[in-house]
Structure 1
Amino acid sequence: MDELQRIAAAFPDLAWSRARKVTEGWDHVVVILDDALVFRFPQEAPYTEALAREVEVLDHLGPRLPVRIPRYDRVAPDGSFAGYPLLPGRTLQPEVLDSLDGTAREALVDQLAGFLSALHTAPVAGTPLEQVPPSCLAEDQDDVRSAAAAHLPALLTAAELDDVERILGEVDALLAADLPDVVVHNDVYSRHLLWDDDAARLGVIDFSDMSVGDPAVDFAELYEYGEDFVRAVHERYTGPADPGLLDRAWTYQRWIGVYMLTDHFDVGKTTWEVARETFDRVRAGRGG
């Protein structure tokens, strides 16, 4: 049974005239009906098992965050997929950010900083956030290190391999350090940020990798927009006081560059060209 058949079987009252499927994500197939309703279908058992938790957590967080987030209002009877009203807005690619005028950009920075601040300081005890699992960065680090050893020596120069090893060593040091533990989105980057020009509102999607970990991870991929943008968001951030946060965020961003190289071989969703572009950018430095 394909996704549309599953939707029709689970929600016989639901009618639509147009449907489009989005398969470019790592962990879910997404079906959008009439540009109004989003259904997410987990592709791996851990994400299916976590769906009920995600629904409950987002329902709890929705009124407490200064941005729009998904609010699931249709969950399949067997819990295998769920849907929510489409969040309006353009995907915040760097060129979209660059197109914003000063007023809109200021509003975006304020809302993004407010989102990270509210999420990172959200009370956990006695709330659905108690269900959020600990970070799996240590396990991911082991996988990346193994994949890097298996695939990268034939493709990278000696200097590049030295950089890979240096980056992995820096992450090992962070994993051994005593760092803040907060609820993090864990995948804050351009494809998960939506900017609604008409309402001047930010939307944040895809909370399926939420975990408890270092707040710096939620700043890491903001370096896609450049150092000045990251610093502007951080200046308005009122989360845990932490003078080393942006340095750690840059380390995690560099790690993502290595992760994407290995993901090309292990999962195949990332093309070598895109992975290589990210790796080259982070090797060029924070201002690169």
Structure 2
Amino acid sequence: MPSKVDPLDLIRTRFPGLEFRDARVIEDGWDSLVLDLDDEWIIRIPRRREVEEWLNREIALLPELATRLSVEVPRYELVARNGVVCAGYRKLPGSPAKTGLNELTGKDLGRFLAALHRFRVEDARALGVPYFDREGWQERFGSVCADFRRRVFPLLEPGERERAHAVFACVEQVDFVPELIHADLGPEHVLCRDGRVVAVIDWSDARVGDAALDLAWCLNGTPAGVATSVARTYGVDANLRERALFYHRLGPWYEVVYGLETGQERFVASGIEGVRARLPR
């Protein structure tokens, strides 16, 4: 979206039949601007051509997933592609999965992920979802870790860098059968009501790759009872658990890089704190 475009004018122009009184920004990130209209509609406006492609893939994929998952997913009723791309769906129930989680939450997460990961890879590829085999995945994460070394290592102590090298070395050991994954599953994208998972949003990063990435937060960022319930319901083995921990440890590194790229010191500081907290002892 060009920086000089007023998002509300854009929405009114692209969707002239859409009436709303209040607009609230709920995400103003590097990739997209996301607005909540009257607590009824969620409108997403990509900031770059690449992100427009991600959104178009999401719009194609979600109708195929809607009938196969145990939770709700966005149903895009508003789509405008000529000119500045923007799209919208009716706001889904629930709140981000940050508090009030319990064993039933974990059971819901395990069931959801098991169903998602059973989706036929051939069908996902036919819908334009990016595909990574083991070699392509290792190459991708090897490049990511190299970038982290270049940008983030100067902010760490020598001993911390050594421990980080041990984490990055895990890239060469990653082995898996490619499956369809959400690829950005965390508390902001899991919506709960009364401790039950009712919806999962923000599917633009969906790809075929290592299922352990979807389990990173579920097994390592939730209360122990939730994580145990996820593992039991999904059927997590030792290898899958180890890979999930690897991806969990990488999470804060992305936050540091985002802060450096956007000049927001608060993200750099909180990201470094997270990096240090997750390094192996």
Q: Does TM, scored on the shorter chain, surpass 0.5?
A: yes
Greater alpha carbon shift after TM alignment, 209-218 vs 266-275 = 266-275
The residue aligned with 2:215 is 219
Aligned letter for 2:278? Answer: V
Judged with a 3 Å threshold, the aligned counterparts in structure 2 of structure 1 residues 128 and 65 are, in CA distance, closer, same or farther, namely farther
Aligned letter for 1:152? Answer: F
Where in structure 2 are the equivalents of 1:126-165 lying within 5 Å? 126=123, 130-135=127-132, 138-153=139-154, 155-165=155-165
CA–CA distance in 2 between the matches of 1:250 and 1:134? 22
CA–CA distance in 1 between the matches of 2:74 and 2:191? 12
CA–CA distance in 2 between the matches of 1:268 and 1:206? 25
Judged with a 3 Å threshold, the aligned counterparts in structure 2 of structure 1 residues 133 and 156 are, in CA distance, closer, same or farther, namely same
Judged with a 3 Å threshold, the aligned counterparts in structure 2 of structure 1 residues 24 and 217 are, in CA distance, closer, same or farther, namely same
Aligned letter for 1:173? Answer: Q
CA–CA distance in 1 between the matches of 2:221 and 2:18? 39
Shift of 1:114: 1.1
Secondary structure of 2:234's aligned partner = coil
Q: Does 1:55 align with 2:59?
A: yes
Confirm or deny: 8 A CA contact 2:124 2:208 kept in the other structure. Answer: no
Where in structure 2 are the equivalents of 1:37-76 lying within 5 Å? 37-76=41-80
Once superposed, what is the RMSD of the aligned Cα atoms?
Answer: 2.4
Match of 1:20 among 24, 43, 51: 24
Provide the TM-score with structure 1 as the length reference. Answer: 0.84
Consecutive unaligned residues of structure 2, counting only runs of 5 or more, are: none
1:178-233: CA deviation from partner (whole Å, max 9, x where unpaired): x1100000011111111123x94421111000010011010112212145532320
Consecutive unaligned residues of structure 1, counting only runs of 5 or more, are: none
Secondary structure of 2:34's aligned partner = strand
Confirm or deny: 8 A CA contact 2:79 2:88 kept in the other structure. Answer: yes
Judged with a 3 Å threshold, the aligned counterparts in structure 2 of structure 1 residues 172 and 265 are, in CA distance, closer, same or farther, namely farther
Secondary structure of 1:152's aligned partner = helix
CA–CA distance in 2 between the matches of 1:272 and 1:37? 32
Where in structure 2 are the equivalents of 1:1-288 lying within 5 Å? 1-78=5-82, 80-93=85-98, 96=99, 99-100=100-101, 105-126=102-123, 130-135=127-132, 138-153=139-154, 155-174=155-174, 177=175, 179-197=176-194, 200-222=196-218, 223-237=220-234, 243-268=238-263, 271-283=267-279
